[in-house]
Chain A
Amino acid sequence: MSSSHARLTAAGFTSQIATVARKDLEIEARTGVAAGRMVPFAGILVVLFAIALDPDSGLLPRLAPGLFWIAVLLSALMAITRSFALEREHRAGEGLIGAGLDPAAMFLGKAAAIAVELLTLELLVGSTMVVLYEVSRPGAVIVAACLLLASAGIACAGTLYGALTIAGDGRDSLLAVLLLPALVPLMVAATRAFEIAVDVGTGTATTWVGLLGVFAAIYASLGSLTFASLIEET
């Protein structure tokens, strides 16, 4: 048997994850396709929310946490679709796995790259909202933990469901139908944590941040275990 498909060491597995993440981020840096779609889309949503809810009504600062995560979730669909479009290109993903890349490393690497893209978007959207919606400055620790864990959760769940669309035979539209309902618990937890961080909610933020961590861990484990069979089935 070829050594390329022998069992990976932990260091080798980590190295393959980093290789995949770097590859996706490098392609995005060179092409800017995902950013070119996500940023304008999220920007338009932020402005539309502001127009629809009347800035003088005082609703915007209270609803900002929920609106923020809706804008992020909808924009994330574009990053996930783009991520899997790359793998359909000349069957490159199939080629790498055929050459010995661990499917779990591909899953985690792609999820890591999507999470980095989402974090960048969240910082842009969040900064815009703080200024435009006159939101009080949030607590940095809660927000940082929330952004990291929610981005990881969205990216892991998105990569898992994105694998179903890898064949590209009209199943792209299924991504939103499958993924958005699955992300409802994450959206609720992230919104509650943000509400507490900007002083419009009550309760303990750490409970919600903890839930985000559990959500991300579940989807990271589920994806690592099932990604190989999912992409083979599609």
Chain B
Amino acid sequence: MSVVGGFPVLAGVDLDLSAGEIVLLTGGNGAGKTSLLRVIAGLAPVTSGEATAFGYDLARPPRAHRGRVVFVGGDAGCYEALTVRRNLELYAAASRQAPAELLGAAVDLGLEVQLDVPFGRLSTGQRQRCALAIGLARRADLFLLDEPHSGLDERGRDLIDRTVVDAAAGGAIVVVVSHELERARRIATAEIVVSGGVCGSKKEIS
């Protein structure tokens, strides 16, 4: 994948990522990490310059691009009035997966007791787990995870890490933004520092 940009907040970004990599993006608040993830996901506009991912023009990303990319961060993408189970079933119908796949991911992330609780009544951490269950259960080539550890307890964080490692082992690319640096570096294969909207060079993590 390559991203070549000329974005208002992301000038001169150039990334080349390979299948199976887990790349940690680090940098201070406002450095442009989340903006970069949203641009790659096709969720933020490219107002000038060029940006491509998987060969698709990110200025007008086609549906095929969205099918290959999962972005988890910020908004959970769930309906407050519906239970966790119904939200997962909706996503299963949208992505044409068996509901059991998403329900299984939610159970793995510790949401078994909350399956029949409306999403609006979940705690911040439980909402985060629900969003991760929806995202990580999807079959995708690129996972973009914005602060996946936030709001989770130790067990939840371990589960996320295992799921990320499994996804990469299956050939997916995972890009993680996390302020839990010590934990994230344990699973990352490379790290890139973003500063002032500019990406530094990729450093391998042994």
Contact = CB atoms under 8 A, between A and B. Distances in A.
Interface of B is mostly: mixed
A100 interface: yes
Contact of A89 (B67, B71, B80, B94): B80
Nearest to B71: A98
Interface string A89-106: 111101111111100000
Contacts of A226: none
> Which of under 10, 10 to 19, 20 to 34, or 35 or more describes the interface residues of A?
20 to 34
B140 interface: yes
Given A95-B134, A99-B138, A4 B77 contact: no
Interface stretch (A24-32, A118-126, A200-208): A24-32
Given A1-B68, A2-B140, A4-B67, A86 B95 contact: no
Nearest to B75: A91
Given A89-B80, A90-B76, A90-B80, A99 B134 contact: yes
B119 to A, nearest CB: 8
Interface in A1-27: 1-5, 12, 15-16, 19, 23, 26-27
A4 B95 contact: yes
Interface of A: 1-5, 12, 15-16, 19, 23, 26-27, 30-31, 86, 89-92, 94-101, 228
Interface of B: 41, 43, 63-64, 66-68, 70-71, 75-82, 86, 90-91, 93-97, 118, 134, 138-141
